[in-house]
Amino acid sequence: MKSGCINLLYLFTDFNSLFLKKILYISYDGLTDPLGQSQVLPYLEKLSLLGFQFTLLSFEKKDRFQKEKKIVDTIIDTANIKWIPLRFTSKPLVISKIYDRWKLKRAAIKLYKQEKFDLIHCRSYVAAEAGFILKKKFGAKFLFDMRGFWADEKVDNGQWSQNKFLYRLIYKYYKRKEKHFLLNADGIITLTKASKNFLISQPEYKNLSIGVIPCCADLSHFDFHKISYDQINALRHKLEIPASAKVITYLGSVGGWYMTKEMFSFFTILISRIPEYVMLILTKDDVKKVKAEALSAGIPGDKIFVTYSNREQLPRFLALSNCSIFFIRNSFSKVASSPTKHAELMGMGIPVICNDMGDTGNIVNTTQTGFIVNDNDKCSFQNVINKMDELKKIDREYIRNCAKEIFDLKTGVQKYSDEYNRILN
């Protein structure tokens, strides 16, 4: 009897697997990277419940892989996701990237021959190179989840200086690839309406069907209702933030795309007018370096707090906020920018002060859930600081409800599911 039940269970499992659509998800970002845990795994966990069976091919950085692997293993085991981690290579600079791409293509072809996937979901351009090969070689369905204008980002942030012949060649190579991906993909996803509008304004792309899915957040996790006053007060005490202080937070990496000097400039003007404010920076970056940069910008030591929070504890840290700030360096490529932190902050009912990039300015202005500043204009800073009291009047529940309409992970998952089903008929 027991043996018969086991055989029936295996038969049911095999029969059920016939209806599961097999997806190869390729990402050059690692699952042990912050983006992997906020913008890849949460989607795939929930999509796995909707009839999709994932094999996930990613590139992992050695230190993070050793530190975070157990966390990722727990998640993927629960969601029945097969994970193929490849080692991310960083040196020598250009040769290492060529090597990684060779490894990726070889692994993707081998996996496809074994599994005959129904769809290849490629996150950004490096992944799309492998997906495009599988489409040409085997006729695989190919979803180009472009995220943003990756090659232009590399130029805009100075990594691919167009003053150097080699990087001019690399940029032109990937802009040609971008065109091939867009014109041959079975589906295209971008992060912002602004980037979609730019693409379809180009004659060669005017007939493309492009979906828009912003960087969403798990609003069941980023929920201020789950944080008690006692928890907030205990955390204030632990961080030694005065009970009477108002807190403006910054969440994420310091420098790079994020305009640290300009944000510090805003804060120095803010505390000259409203000295009750302190700044809490939640980052994985070196605490001493961040504090040193703040001090050199003229911020008193007792006004700046820098610490790290893992994803599990992050909502509790964010709950200390009266408001939050982020300035992103404005450039062409940022028309496709959708900051994950914006979704998380709105889920926590926190008003934001930010500059206008991608769809962010339109979202803030339309919902009236914060203020937009000119990111390098002290008069603009002053105008916003004069209205800081108005931020207190914005209802936290209202901000969270706006987040549900725009950034809820459930909505993002449903949009991906609809796109999968459209491509697969």
Q: Which residue has the tokens 């980002």?
A: 153
Instruction: Note whether 397 and 414 are same-domain residues.
Output: no
pLDDT band at 103 (very low <50, low <70, confident <90, very high): very high
Structural domain harbouring 31? 2-214+409-423
Span of 9-23, 35-49, 408-422 with lowest mean pLDDT? 9-23
pLDDT at 228: 96
Instruction: Note whether 25 and 149 are same-domain residues.
Output: yes
Which tokens belong to 265?
Answer: 């400039």
Q: How far is CA 45 from the centre of its chain?
A: 16
Average pLDDT in the 78-88 region? 96
Helix (H, G, I), strand (E, B) or coil at 339: coil
What is the four-CA torsion angle of 37, 41, 42, 47, rounded to 10 degrees?
Answer: 170
pLDDT at 79: 93
In a domain, 347, yes or no: yes
- Among the listed residues 26, 18, 17, the one whose alpha carbon sits nearest the alpha carbon of residue 120: 26
Centre a 10 Å sphere on the Cβ of residue 239 and count the other Cβ atoms it contains. Answer: 15
Q: How far is CA 151 from the centre of its chain?
A: 17
Helix (H, G, I), strand (E, B) or coil at 218: coil
Q: Are the CB atoms for 164 and 175 separated by under 8 Å?
A: no
Q: CA-to-CA distance for 389 and 391, rounded, in angstroms?
A: 5
In degrees and rounded to multiples of 5, residue 122 shows phi and psi of -110, 120
62, 268, 420 from 325: Cα distances, Å: 32, 13, 36
| Sign of the CA dihedral with 281 first, then 285, 287, and 293 last | negative
Burial of 280 per CB tally in 10 Å (0-12, 13-18, 19+): buried
> Is 6 a residue whose pLDDT tops 50?
no
Instruction: Note whether 359 and 392 are same-domain residues.
Output: yes
Whether cis (ω within 30° of 0) applies to the bond prior to 339 is no
- Among the listed residues 233, 270, 302, 279, the one whose alpha carbon sits nearest the alpha carbon of residue 380: 270
Instruction: Note whether 11 and 160 are same-domain residues.
Output: yes
In a domain, 233, yes or no: yes
Instruction: Note whether 228 and 203 are same-domain residues.
Output: no
- Among the listed residues 328, 307, 324, 8, the one whose alpha carbon sits nearest the alpha carbon of residue 153: 328
pLDDT at 17: 46
134-185 residue pLDDT tens: 999 999 999 999 999 999 999 999 999 999 999 999 999 999 999 999 999 9
pLDDT band at 38 (very low <50, low <70, confident <90, very high): confident
Amino acid present at 230: D
Q: What percent of the chain has pLDDT over 70?
A: 96
Average pLDDT in the 320-341 region? 95
Instruction: Note whether 276 and 137 are same-domain residues.
Output: no
Instruction: Note whether 249 and 347 are same-domain residues.
Output: yes
Q: CA-to-CA distance for 411 and 406, rounded, in angstroms?
A: 8
Instruction: Note whether 341 and 381 are same-domain residues.
Output: yes
**Beta pairing partners, 188:** 144, 210
Angle subtended by helix axes 396-407 and 409-423, to nearest 10: 10
Instruction: Note whether 190 and 232 are same-domain residues.
Output: no
> What is the domain count for the chain?
2
In a domain, 219, yes or no: no
Instruction: Note whether 235 and 252 are same-domain residues.
Output: yes
Q: CA-to-CA distance for 98 and 73, rounded, in angstroms?
A: 28
How many H helices and E strands in the chain? 19, 13
Helix (H, G, I), strand (E, B) or coil at 139: coil
In a domain, 284, yes or no: yes
Centre a 10 Å sphere on the Cβ of residue 275 and count the other Cβ atoms it contains. Answer: 12
Instruction: Note whether 154 and 248 are same-domain residues.
Output: no
Q: For the domain that residue 155 is a member of, what is the CATH number? A: 3.40.50.2000
pLDDT at 81: 97
The CA angle 224-229-231, to the nearest 5 degrees, is 85
Question: What is the residue-averaged pLDDT of the chain?
Answer: 93
Instruction: Note whether 375 and 280 are same-domain residues.
Output: yes
Which residues, in sequence order, are CB contacts of 70 under 8 Å at separation 6+?
none
